[in-house]
Structure 1
């Protein structure tokens, strides 16, 4: 086993002490799943730079910090409202569907789920595990197990061992959510270093459709180790638009792993905006298991000061006639460091696959760094696949042109960066959500450095 920089002992001790009281502890299938995950985490340890997929993202900044379990930290804090990103985008007569987690725990008092159509269920994971855990046996821990095999995943194992709450979203056959669902994950409100391991399960059966806006943010300066896992299963002809905004405070270490399986003719349209946390890694693994499946993994990263942001993806074409497209752009300022790792794998039987990947980065400072590694692994001969990556500074000729027309240098630079990133936002098919993403980008370009919600948010 590779040398560890972080000790697994506190986390394994917590598992041994808490496992009898974790939700669903009386279910043999879940207890076995947790025990296997804890054993795997013990064997693997925390990832180090000796692991190929973690080569560019060291965890040394977390060393020496003792993260306590969330316990009642977030749940007991006084909070009577949470800002909404979707509310300003909807007609006045319509309110968004909302689900809120504070400190990893579902808060029904801060959620609004009235008006769900028949066949749609949105429920706290912990509550469902206590009430009817059998309905989750076919999904929980199974999608992630089938979500990719690119290296080891110790943080996934840690989450599986320790998760105690989260959210379950289930849409039955041909059920369509007529409004977007806003999922807000607010960090703990206490003043001690805290670890969170939320779990999200999304199952869309055949023909179901939904739009999900997932927003991570927080208040305060206490260190937070956020280790979240999402499992998403899309049935035949199902369609999910998934927009994720990671704007956690600068004291946060944010790790999130998303596993997706797609059946025949399903569509997963994803956009991630990563501009928060001191250290972040957003990892997405998709398996295209049914012919005609279509996957879009697009996004942007905006980092400054000494932020470190890692976007790692793997798209696995397992069957013929599937398509995937990935466009990820970033802007790095000061001493920030960005990482992009993307893999498209085409199996031997996946003829007629079409997979494309592009990563572009603007370096706004001579001390900013980008590590980019796009990869293709093709084992079929009748495919169309392409990948590429570029990095560079702002075009000084274009900058001079704008300044010669009377624009101050800072304004001219902001316009050029905004135009560069707007091309990525336009990859999102859900046009109604594009203004929200563009506003967040403009906030960042306006040197907004606080951890409060952006201008477009509305408390409801």
Structure 2
């Protein structure tokens, strides 16, 4: 006789169940959306948090790492000054959307409206059984922004989406459509205020129309005790171009999923990632990139700086679909490991089902080059300063690819401030 014993839920799993039970009656949405929320959460209840037995979570055993879930409720927060002066600011304060007075031709509505009228239902889905971030967000999401960049939209100033959190929990979603030939820069910024721990999930669904040119920057600066689960779901249309920057400079436990489908012929993706890791933090960036059409290009470069006892992960998979001939895809992951107790795991993968392609990947893990260090010291620069200069150059090289000098200077400032505190 087979006797099955139910696995006792962890404190974090039980806290999620309790939080949903308390919140479900006040979450926006019609009966169909409420049912979908319950379905998404039920899977977490039945299977538990992901463990290393699931391949996509092999390096991030969430059942062990996510030990506590903060109770809902947060201290009051305020919007912060934008990274680039003059930007259109769309603020999410403790998860509540605050619409800008002037959106400069951009069509904006709150995601809470889409939940209330039921139109958000088709978006509350998960990619697969391992999509914990999608399940968490779909279960608890209250608000966000629905953005539509009309055909031909063009603006010299960025749109900055600020998610400012004062502890507790926040779950937001940002569906975005870029119309034909639209050109825009969007900064998705996550900032912590206060000292209380927070649990944050954020999902951005981004669609690029034909001929659109988009720069999308994720700046994650959560608090030292925060858990951040971010996800980008991106589809590139014909002849579109996307420059995607993902910068992690905060958070205790961070998982950033990047699901990108290059669906349109002659489309181009440029991905640059920077992970600044210190203390005893754990950060996991997982990329699944599908080249699904002929004549598409992509380059992916990750730069990681790891201090103290921090742990980092990069899982990067490039899939070339059958018939996606003339694909040109290159991926690299380069890490500076600056402590004997630090750890970084890199897992690049290629799955190629076409025969006329150029694809490659590589990964390096090293300390600062002794020759470079000696060169600077021989010119009178003290060792500590020389090491700081080399680390800064290693990271900022990717940022300098941006053409906007103001934006480059602003991002370099964020990187410099972090390195000064942790170097």
Could you tell me how far 1:8 is from its partner in structure 2?
3.4
Could you tell me how far 1:32 is from its partner in structure 2?
4.7
After superposition, give the CA deviation of every residue in 1:336-382 in whole Å (9 maximum; x if it has no partner). Answer: 11111111001112111111101000111222111011111111111
In the alignment, which of 163, 168, 173 is matched to residue 146 of structure 2? 168
Per the normalisation by structure 1, the TM-score is: 0.84
Structure 1 residues not aligned, in runs of 5+: 88-94, 450-460
The match for 1:19 is: 24
Q: Is the 8 A contact 2:107 2:148 kept in 1?
A: yes
Q: For 1:258-407, list aligned pairs within 5 A.
A: 258-407=232-381
Q: For 1:30-429, list aligned pairs within 5 A.
A: 30-59=33-62, 60-63=64-67, 65-70=68-73, 73-74=74-75, 77=76, 79=77, 82-87=80-85, 95-108=86-99, 112-117=100-105, 120-130=106-116, 133-134=118-119, 136=120, 140-141=123-124, 145=127, 152-188=130-166, 194-428=168-402
Q: Structure 1 residues 22, 177: closer, same or farther in 2, change over 3 A? A: farther
Distance in 2, Cα, partners of 1:372 & 1:242: 24
Q: Is the 8 A contact 2:19 2:71 kept in 1?
A: no
Distance in 1, Cα, partners of 2:384 & 2:268: 40
Number of residue pairs matched by the alignment: 417
Q: Is the 8 A contact 1:269 1:429 kept in 2?
A: no
Per the normalisation by structure 2, the TM-score is: 0.91
Q: Secondary structure at the match of 2:392?
A: helix
Could you tell me how far 1:213 is from its partner in structure 2?
1.0
Structure 2 residues not aligned, in runs of 5+: 1-5
Could you tell me how far 1:430 is from its partner in structure 2?
4.6
Q: Structure 1 residues 273, 392: closer, same or farther in 2, change over 3 A? A: same
Could you tell me how far 1:122 is from its partner in structure 2?
2.1
Could you tell me how far 1:212 is from its partner in structure 2?
0.6
Q: Structure 1 residues 14, 337: closer, same or farther in 2, change over 3 A? A: closer
The match for 2:3 is: none
Distance in 1, Cα, partners of 2:79 & 2:141: 25
* Larger relative contact order, structure 1 or 2 (CA cutoff 8 Å, min sep 6): 1
| Further displaced range: 232-241 or 277-286 | 232-241
Could you tell me how far 1:331 is from its partner in structure 2?
0.9
Could you tell me how far 1:106 is from its partner in structure 2?
1.6
Distance in 1, Cα, partners of 2:267 & 2:328: 11
Moved over 6 A (4+): 1-4
> RMSD in angstroms over aligned alpha carbons?
2.4
Q: Structure 1 residues 265, 6: closer, same or farther in 2, change over 3 A? A: farther
Q: Is the 8 A contact 1:5 1:48 kept in 2?
A: no
